[in-house]
Amino acid sequence: MIPVTKTFLPPQEEYNSYVKRAWDKVWLTNRGELTIELEDKLKNYLNVPHITITNNGTIPLQIALKLFGKGGEIITTPFSYVATSAAIVWENCTPVFVDINPEYLTIDETKIEAAITSKTTAILATHVFGNPCAIEAIAAIAEKHNLKVIYDAAHCFGVTYNNESIFQFGDVSTCSFHATKLFHTGEGGAMFCKDEETQHTLFYSHNFGHNGPLAFHGLGINAKISELQSAMGLALFPYMEHIIAERKKVTDFYNANLNFKNLKNIKIRENTEWNYSYYPVIFESEAILLEVQEALAKENIQPRRYFYPSLNTIPYTNGAEMPVSESIASRVMCLPLYVGLPTLDLEKITAIINTITS
């Protein structure tokens, strides 16, 4: 089978060497030396002032919403993974959807202000497929209306915008270290911020609110990553340049060989150094998408309808109609993209798509 993605695994002996350190110390969780070492490496690699790594990529959104959402209305995008909206509802806030830009696929910043009410407390926007939102415009709106900005940057490891890490923007930015991501810890995530006060709150919030073993700064939850997860991150870390370079080769092949006469791909925002996290294509209709999907499946090729459905259509979000997002969600599909994907397989994928769409 040719899957939509394949987890990159470092040599097992290299992973085992890190696990042995945890084994020798009999220290498997509660911020052991592997977790601290990984945070330091990531902070330097990503050039960010503050990072707290977590046990998954959704809980940073929940923590940020607990801090900044305050049970209010959260302006958000309908075109994202379900975790974005689910976290809002889970934290007893109300998602207020704003439609998306049809080229960048990120939230349409020109429609945000019209959605703001007296109950609005924050904007939660997704850098879709690692493609940055209109950061400057969103920052100006947030400042004008005294709102917090949370970025779901789950796909953004290594992305820079205007020569700065994408994680530098917003009041809190989050990332996923799930096994399907470029950088992963098997399961995991991280939250980033710019100032000491926010970092202090994020940090104690991810560790039950602890201030030492017997006192508490405030309310917290258990979002700590284990040493076994951190071991995977440390073992994977030396391969990041290789991973990104190999994914770029696959992306370049699709760009050169797909016929875009009746097919579109995502437009990457200007001044962005992208990470080749996904390869979405947008068909002219859902019927053509389904025909392509069926033809690929016959060859044991498994792309993914991602993101589908548009989140405003999920019953618990009670969302209004979002014509652009609903249209894109019905017609977008991510093609196989991973390290080691053979050229022969890429030729087969592009030939099938070109035959049907041309």
Q: Is the dihedral of CA 31, 37, 40, 41 positive or negative?
A: negative
Assigned token pair, 57: 């990529």
Q: What is the tens place of the pLDDT at every residue in 228-253? A: 999 999 999 999 999 999 999 999 99
Question: What is the tens place of the pLDDT at every residue in 34-79?
Answer: 999 999 999 999 999 999 999 999 999 999 999 999 999 999 999 9
Would you call the peptide bond into 307 cis, given omega within 30 degrees of 0 as the criterion? yes
Cα end-to-end distance, the chain, whole Å: 26
Model pLDDT, residue 77: 98
Query: What crossing angle do the helices spanning 286-298 and 323-331 adopt, rounded to 10°?
Result: 20
Give the pLDDT score at 213: 87
What's the pLDDT tens digit per position in 95-137? 999 999 999 999 999 999 999 999 999 999 999 999 999 999 9
Interval 296-308 mean pLDDT: 97
Please give the domain boundaries of the chain with CATH numbers for all domains: 12-237 (3.40.640.10), 240-357 (3.90.1150.10)
For range 206-226, the mean pLDDT: 94
CB-neighbour burial class of residue 54 (10 A; exposed 0-12, middle 13-18, buried 19+): buried
Q: Residue 9: pLDDT above 90? A: yes
Give me the mean pLDDT over the 171-181 stretch: 98
Banded pLDDT at 167 (limits 50, 70, 90): very high
Rounded mean pLDDT, 279-298: 98
pLDDT of the residue at 69: 97
Q: 154 pLDDT exceeds 90? A: yes
What's the average model confidence in pLDDT over 331-348? 98
Percent of the chain's residues with pLDDT above 90? 99
pLDDT at 212 over 90: no
Residue 224 dihedral angles phi and psi, to the nearest 5°: -70, 145
Active site residues: 181
